[in-house]
């Protein structure tokens, strides 16, 4: 057998430019020149490691297999020659600032001290590394939609009924045919490893312990197979799909998922055709940035345009996806399809007409279009303008849901269930126990809210608005669409 030549550190170091960018990841050398502009996390983070070892940062965000799976053979240059590491290489790689973990265990409160969903985010703020903190908790532009998502839940008041026997209650229900202990989903979130080593494995296992369902993201930091293996085979999952601009990839992914019985539905995310501007995230990268070009340690802006923060590119997410593509998706899956990212009654109606099994009223947790309506307002708009949507398909809502009482409110409007994002991602810092603990908190708060409202069975109050007072929010709803002849004529204009 001929000896395969390994690639030395000095050879790798020669390819240290954006336009000629080799990186060492887990003992292998890759040419990321062509891939970097399409990297969903932005080109700059890749360019920071041109001619260097990016293993630590890569492993913090991605599964080991991802890079091997995603790159074409031509870009896999070969094995890195560890024996060639010299002081020059070691010095150059000292600059891996973003991999340095500013974790401060002293600041980490014990799990038992966390008693509500916000506590998980606060704990992560104190204890977690800065970059993941900015990535997870950040939102678009001025955070207007992010803030509105939360505050609208606060403006929806209950009208409790009293003197009812509330000893025995049940929160059990079904979601897309799957039995769950309460109508709560762990919303799909990319790269959960940023919050803790167990990443999506903790989300899946914690959800299973809590009797709820985790929607795993296309951009997960583990493979689907690894995530499924984290829970008993009987426990259901949902899968969130970002359609890839390379449609072949999506077809292959759907075909792979089709063989996995544990995956019970496909949630197609449609609210992020381009990645929005997440300023907190960009600012942190600016502070951590190191020079690509200066061999002498002077820190330059690595962006040729000069401004140079990690403006995420549109990445791999298909921006030409339209309603006409639904039949194409259905060709590759027999699983129920749920459209995630509905923000108006008009689009909810379209999803219904096109035979979707459900929708998620979502604005990506304020991480897509800033100034998009708070999801609770969109939910109320759908309730007002096309109530049939709630009975003819399953409606979910996410964005700012932080209390068990919010779950109850959503169900009373007619939702089948809610999704919760950021607090669960932060719970990953406490591994599976953290995720389970957060499920317990929601369960407990939901039961308490039900009892205090005089409700014993969630399924009996679904869509029953008599328990709610929406008057503080009604003023924020868009004008009612005109119906009758006048409306018809207008729609034709
Ligand atoms: C073929 C290889 C790779 C693929 C397919 C890939 C894919 C992705 C995806 C899907 C995201 C999530 C974007 C989001 O939802 O915000 C991401 C983020 C990220 N990736 Fe990669 N990646 C690859 C290689 C790398 C390498 C080599 C590094 C570093 C050396 C890296 C570092 C990061 C970082 C730091 C983020 C987070 C960026 C942020 O939040 O600003 N990735 N990548
Ligand atoms: C860190 C993070 C990553 C996310 N990644 C995805 C994703 O990969 N796919 C997706 O459909 N939504 C993604 N979302 C949006 C969530 O699914 C969900 O819509 C949102 O987080 C709900 O708002 P909340 O965080 O206020 O609960 C992400 C959200 C966060 C916070």
Give the integer Cα–Cα distance in Å for 447 and 307.
Answer: 51
Cα 478 to Cα 321, 380, 474, 475: the distances in Å are 26, 10, 9, 8
Residues of the chain with CATH 3.20.20.70: 114-275+313-474
Per residue in 221-241, pLDDT (tens digit) is 899 999 999 999 999 999 999
**Strands 468-469, 157-158: parallel, antiparallel or unpaired by DSSP?**
antiparallel
Q: Among this protein's residues, is 364 annotated catalytic?
A: yes
What's the number of CA atoms in the CB half-sphere (13 Å) around residue 12? Answer: 35
Of the candidates 238, 153, 209, the residue with the CA atom closest to the CA atom of residue 439? 209
Token duo for residue 323: 């309603």
Which of 367, 375, 407 gets mutated to test ligand 2 (max ligand atoms within 8 A of its CB)?
Answer: 367
Of the candidates 326, 331, 317, the residue with the CA atom closest to the CA atom of residue 364? 317
- Taking the centre of ligand 1 as the mean of its atom positions, its distance from the CA of residue 353, in whole angstroms, is 37
Which of 26, 31, 39 gets mutated to test ligand 1 (max ligand atoms within 8 A of its CB)?
Answer: 39
Residue 485: which pLDDT band, with cuts at 50, 70 and 90? confident
SS3 category, 214: strand
Residue 274: the pLDDT is: 84
Nearest CA to ligand 1 atom 40: 135
SS3 category, 265: strand
Task: Tell me which DSSP letter residue 75 carries.
Answer: G
Cβ density class 186-220: b for 16+ within 10 Å, e for less: bbbbbbbbbbbebbbbbbbbbbbbbbbbbbbbbbb
Ligand 1 pocket by C-beta < 6 Å: which residues?
Answer: 23, 25, 35, 39-42, 45-46, 49, 54, 57-58, 61-62, 66-67, 70-71, 135, 190-191, 219, 281, 310
Specify the fold of 114-275+313-474.
TIM Barrel (3.20.20)
Ligand nearest to the CA of 284: 1
SS3 category, 465: helix
Specify the fold of 9-99.
Flavocytochrome B2; Chain A, domain 1 (3.10.120)
Per residue in 309-367, pLDDT (tens digit) is 333 434 688 999 999 999 999 999 999 999 999 999 999 999 999 999 999 999 999 99
Ligand 2 pocket by C-beta < 6 Å: which residues?
Answer: 136, 149, 187-190, 217, 219, 240, 269, 340, 362, 364-365, 367, 398-401, 419-422, 425
Of the candidates 162, 104, 103, 163, the residue with the CA atom closest to the CA atom of residue 132? 103
Cα 385 versus chain centre, distance? 29
Ligand nearest to the CA of 312: 1
Atom of ligand 1 nearest to the CA of 69: 1
Residue 362: the pLDDT is: 98
The C-alpha angle 479, 484, 490, rounded to 5 degrees, equals: 65
Per residue in 152-200, pLDDT (tens digit) is 999 999 999 999 999 999 999 999 999 999 999 999 999 899 899 999 9
Percentage of the chain modeled with pLDDT above 70: 90
Residue 308 has pLDDT above 70, yes or no: no
Give the integer Cα–Cα distance in Å for 485 and 449.
Answer: 45
Mean pLDDT of the chain: 89
Per residue in 35-89, pLDDT (tens digit) is 998 887 788 889 999 999 999 888 888 888 889 988 999 999 999 999 999 999 9
Cα 313 to Cα 32, 55, 278, 480: the distances in Å are 15, 22, 12, 37
- What ipTM did this prediction achieve? 0.81
Atom of ligand 1 nearest to the CA of 310: 41
Residues of the chain with CATH 3.10.120.10: 9-99
Residue 2: which pLDDT band, with cuts at 50, 70 and 90? low
pTM, two decimal places: 0.84
Of the candidates 363, 278, 270, the residue with the CA atom closest to the CA atom of residue 313? 278
Residue 491: the pLDDT is: 61
């Amino acid at each position: 057998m001929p000896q395969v030549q390994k690639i030395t550190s000095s050879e790798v170091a020669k390819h240290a430019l954006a336009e000629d960018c080799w990186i060492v990841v887990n003992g292998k050398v890759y040419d990321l020149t062509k891939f970097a502009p399409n990297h969903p996390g932005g080109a700059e983070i890749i360019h920071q490691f041109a001619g260097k070892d990016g293993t630590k940062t890569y492993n913090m965000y991605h599964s080991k297999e991802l890079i091997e799976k995603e790159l074409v053979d031509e870009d896999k240059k070969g094995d890195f020659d560890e024996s060639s590491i010299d002081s020059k290489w070691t010095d150059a790689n000292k600059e891996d600032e973003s991999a340095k973990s500013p974790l401060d265990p002293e600041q980490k409160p014990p799990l038992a001290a966390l008693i509500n969903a916000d506590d998980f985010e606060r704990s992560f703020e104190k204890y977690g590394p800065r970059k993941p903190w900015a990535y997870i908790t950040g939102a678009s532009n001025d955070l207007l939609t992010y803030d509105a998502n939360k505050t609208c839940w606060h403006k929806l008041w209950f009208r409790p009924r009293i003197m009812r026997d509330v000893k025995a209650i049940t929160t059990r229900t079904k979601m897309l045919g799957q039995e769950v202990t309460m109508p709560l989903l762990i919303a799909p979130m990319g790269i959960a490893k940023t919050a803790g080593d167990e990443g999506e494995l903790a989300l899946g296992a914690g959800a299973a312990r809590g009797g709820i369902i985790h929607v795993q993201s296309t951009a997960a930091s583990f493979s689907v197979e690894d995530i499924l293996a984290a829970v008993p085979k009987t426990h259901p999952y949902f899968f969130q799909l970002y359609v890839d601009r390379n449609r072949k990839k999506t077809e292959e992914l759907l075909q792979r998922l089709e063989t996995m019985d544990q995956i019970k539905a496909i949630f197609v995310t449609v609210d992020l055709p381009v990645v929005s501007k997440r300023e907190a995230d960009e600012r942190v990268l600016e502070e951590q940035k190191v020079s690509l070009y200066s061999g002498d340690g002077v820190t330059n802006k690595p962006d040729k345009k000069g401004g140079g923060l990690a403006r995420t590119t549109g990445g791999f997410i298909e921006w030409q996806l339209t309603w006409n593509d639904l039949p194409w998706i259905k060709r590759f899956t027999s699983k129920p399809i749920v459209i995630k990212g509905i923000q108006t009654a008009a689009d909810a109606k379209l999803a219904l007409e096109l035979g979707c099994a459900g929708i998620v009223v979502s604005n990506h947790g304020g991480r897509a279009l800033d100034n998009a309506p708070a999801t609770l307002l969109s939910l109320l708009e759908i309730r007002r303008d096309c109530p049939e949507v709630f009975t003819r398909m399953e409606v979910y809502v996410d964005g700012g849901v932080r209390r068990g009482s919010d779950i109850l409110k959503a169900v009373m409007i007619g939702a089948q269930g809610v999704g919760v994002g950021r607090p669960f991602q932060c719970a990953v810092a406490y591994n599976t126990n953290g995720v389970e603990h957060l499920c317990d908190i929601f369960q407990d708060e939901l039961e308490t809210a039900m009892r205090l409202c005089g409700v014993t069975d969630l399924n009996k109050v679904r869509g029953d608005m008599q328990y709610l007072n929406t008057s503080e929010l009604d003023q924020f709803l868009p004008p009612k669409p005109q119906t009758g002849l006048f409306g018809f004529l207008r729609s034709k204009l």
